[in-house]
Amino acid sequence: MISQPSQTPRPPDAPRAPRIAIVGAGPGGLSAAVLLSARGCRVTVYEANDDIGGRTGQERLPAPGAGEGVYRFDRGPTFFLMPYVLDEIFAAAGRKASDYLTMTRLDPMYRLMIGRRGRDPLVLDTTQDLKQMAERIRPHAPADADRFEAFINENRAKLDVFEPILRKAILSPTDLLDPTMFKALPKLGPHKSVHDDIARHIKDEHVRLAVCFQSKYLGMSPFDCPSLFTILPYIEYAYGVWHPQGGCHAVMRALAACATDLGADIRVSTPVERITFTGKKATGVVVDGEETGYDAVVVNADATWALRNLVPASVRPKRFSDDALNAKKYSCSTAMLYLGLDGEVDLPHHTIYTSTNYTENLANISDNHALTDDPSIYVCNPSRTDPTMAPPGKSALYILVPTPSTQLKKSHGGKAVIDWDAERPRLRREIFEQLEKVFGIEDAERRAEAEKLLTPADWQAMNISFGATFNLAHNLGQMLHQRPGNRVQGLDRLYLVGGGTHPGSGLPTIFLSAQISAKLLGDDLGMRTPAAPTHRASKPSEHAALVHT
């Protein structure tokens, strides 16, 4: 157990505090634990793994010759955006994130290496200084440099009208009949993709890719991702890319510490076997064959996996039948190599390379269910910023290659196309080749002291549906009320938090999902209404003091 807090006896005439079970100690579950504990609930968090974090967990590998030293890697997310949303979670508990966590704003935010046929990649070190960023674009595309700031400003206005929707429970079509939605609709452009919308401003194909690759944060192609998500590059340029000391997993530690300070009980190595119901109402959980009753249950496990495996088929609405859940469109997956290298690496904290055959690479991931010889690849070099991630003189590299998920394709007769066990040697070889050829890391394989490779099959074995590391896809048919609801549609006292519900994948939106679900639950149980979230500052610079740098 993370903790076993003592319970203060309540006066005989005091109302009984609602008892809430949270299934999963990922970012959504831990945020919900903070918010619900702050509202006076008695919260128990059940985590199947032996540590907290879920996909935002930490991988540790021993470092030979470094005594007790270890290499530390974030398991999943490494980009930290929109820190003001995290501040809202702590503020709801009367705390400050900076009391639990130290963050550094990165500059450059990341290095982009945009592959070009027959030429060296276009290299851009991105910065929040918009005028300086325009000047970095200018040698490659002068007209696009002139339009860059207008593109950013347009998306400032788009986020202004969409953020209220990202903060609102959208449970049914009637929730769309809202003034905030009508205000946002003219900016939605549902017939356009991210790539199409950006093309109105940025004409050079390589510079355009430099400001639309962020759709990969959702596990989607910019050619398929709805144009709403042009807000992603704006968020980076406006509010920065941050590194929590100790990695994004340190945010999980901070949330867990805050939750336990408030009295939450977080139990690791304690898998929930199923959720119990009386009629359509969730009434408890079964652990080690024994049922414990609760007033409500919050699910932070992978949403569709949990609906299939923890909620009895007899109580599920038809829209959540096994067949319906299996037929949904899921994001891509990833191959991950966590690599401990002897020596330092001359790369920024984040470096992103896009394939010279980018459209073919995307088609192989989303449609052809195939691997690409020149894959796009992302390298995180956190020990450049944070000495806690690797022993002195060594480097902890996190390497991500977008891949197809394990979802079977009807076009292939419903049969598995990629044997991930058989492909492991190829994946490993291609990664080392790219590290040397593209990223200039000499003798990477010889210098490797520790490594761990995860494939989509490994992610699937972690109870992630189809190994889709970015959860359900964010196409228009799976957004808003068409996503599994923060209060599960057709059931009572069952709530979802995480990337599988509204508003979607990514740490900031997962924190928003926890805010939405915690408010719904509290309102359903007739609890006191918390203060409204602190709204983001109108100027990005106003956030500088929110988290220590």
- The pLDDT tens digits for 421-466 are 999 999 999 999 999 999 999 999 999 999 999 999 999 999 999 9
- Across the range 147-158, mean pLDDT stands at 92
Residue 537 has pLDDT above 70, yes or no: no
Residue 221 CA to residue 407 CA, distance in Å, equals 17
| Mean pLDDT of the 127-142 span | 96
Q: What is the DSSP letter of 84?
A: H
Fold of the 129-239 domain: Guanine Nucleotide Dissociation Inhibitor; domain 1 (1.10.405)
Q: What is the mean pLDDT of residues 17-31?
A: 98
Looking at per-residue pLDDT, the higher value among 351 and 534 belongs to: 351
| pLDDT at res. 415 | 55
- Which among 407, 536, 509 is positioned nearest to 168, based on CA atoms? 509
| pLDDT exceeds 60 at position 532 | no
Higher pLDDT, 144 or 535: 144
pLDDT tens-digit map of 293-347: 999 999 999 999 999 999 999 999 999 999 999 999 999 999 999 999 999 999 9
Q: Is the pLDDT of residue 549 over 70?
A: no
Kindly list the domain boundaries of the chain, sorted by start residue: 19-57+81-104+244-327+472-533, 129-239
- What would the mean pLDDT of 379-401 be, rounded to a whole number? 96
Find which of 44-53, 148-157, 368-377 is predicted with most confidence, using mean pLDDT. Answer: 44-53
Which pLDDT band holds residue 177 (cuts at 50, 70, 90)?
Answer: confident
Residue 188 — pLDDT band, cuts 50, 70, 90?
A: confident
Q: How far apart are CA 191 and CA 201, in angstroms?
A: 17
DSSP string, 256-310: HHHHHHTT-EEESS----EEEEETTEEEEEEETTEEEE-SEEEE-S-HHHHHHHT
Q: Which of 3.30.720.110, 3.30.70.920, 3.50.50.60, 3.20.20.70 is the CATH number of 19-57+81-104+244-327+472-533?
A: 3.50.50.60
For residue 466, the Cα-to-chain-centroid distance in whole angstroms is 17
Q: What is the pLDDT of residue 547?
A: 35
Q: Which helix (H) or strand (E) holds 22?
A: strand 19-23
Q: What is the mean pLDDT of residues 57-82?
A: 94
State what percent of residues in the chain have pLDDT above 70. 91
Q: Name the token pair of 443.
A: 């003798």
pLDDT at residue 403 tops 60: yes
Q: Is the pLDDT of residue 247 over 50?
A: yes
Sheet containing strand 274-278, strands side by side: 274-278, 281-287, 290-293
The mean pLDDT value of the chain amounts to 91
Q: Which residue has the higher pLDDT, 16 or 165?
A: 165
**Confidence bin at 413 (pLDDT 50/70/90):** low
